[in-house]
Amino acid sequence: MICKKEHRYLPLFDNLPDDQGGAGRHRCAACAFERGYQDGLKRREQLNLDLDSLPESQAGTVRHKSPHAAYAAGYLAGVQDSYR
């Protein structure tokens, strides 16, 4: 499954580290961000990145971005929003 969402091009992801050789390098970091965000909103305490279930990314700014960093950034944003 290839991610076709517009979020592939969000400039936010420019700041994430690259993951050229890791397990998540073909996964869509923006989808990882959204998953982290949803978990953060719920302040989930049992976290599971489950990288294999994320769509793959072939283009855009999230290509080869670390899904681990994206998930963590999303989780933080979600937790912050949960207090608003």
Return residues touching Zn ion (CB under 5 A): 3, 5, 28, 30-31
E-only strand ranges, the chain: none
Nearest to Zn ion of 40, 65 (CB atom): 65
Nearest to Zn ion of 10, 41 (CB atom): 10
What residues pair up with 56 in beta bridges, in sequence order? Answer: 2, 27
Nearest to Zn ion of 14, 45 (CB atom): 14
Residue 83 beta carbon to Zn ion: minimum distance, rounded to whole angstroms: 26
Q: Yes or no: say if 69 and 63 are a contact pair by the CB < 8 Å rule.
A: no
